Amino acid sequence: LPLPLTLGTITPQHLLANRNALLAGGIRPHLYCLPILKTEEDRRALLDALRTGCPRLFLGTDSAPHAIGRKETGCGCAGIFNANAALELYAEAFEEAGALEHLEAFCSLHGPAFYGVPANDEVVTLRRETWKMAHSLPLGNEEVVPFRAAQLINWRMDG
């Protein structure tokens, strides 16, 4: 029988954070997303899955740039903004998983192969360099808090 056409996209936040980050010491609205962050055991299972190089797992940032006022409210919007450093964040996760050799395929090849479209022929380069994520970023006349705000990131994209 043919294999089922089941796939999964994985966000950087689900690879790098667990629900304790969302709930420890109070609710942290900028870590609220759907599906909600899972247990550490679940996060580790996702890292284990990266090590397989499975072609049905691929990048899906689900990046959501909700302004601070829409997150820090009684009924805040679900979603985490990660687009400003998604590749760098994925590199951290793959490094933690010991699976850097699968990063390019996960980010660039598996998705297009599944959907039957050509892969992009442009190339980006990531280098191991520590830098600090901004506390917030402009969003029109407002601001958005990025994933890992004011924290150190261990990879940087050239250019």
Catalytic residues: 62
Q: What would the two tokens of residue 37 be?
A: 């962050």
Which pair of structure tokens corresponds to residue 99?
């699976």
CA atoms within 13 A on the CB side of 142: 9
What sign does the dihedral 39-43-48-53 (CA atoms) show? Answer: positive
List residues bridging with 157 in a β-sheet. Answer: 126
Query: What distance in Å separates the CA atoms of residue 30 and residue 33, rounded to the nearest whole number?
Result: 8
Phi, psi of 42, deg, nearest 5: -65, -40
Query: Residue 71 belongs to what H/E stretch?
Result: helix 68-71
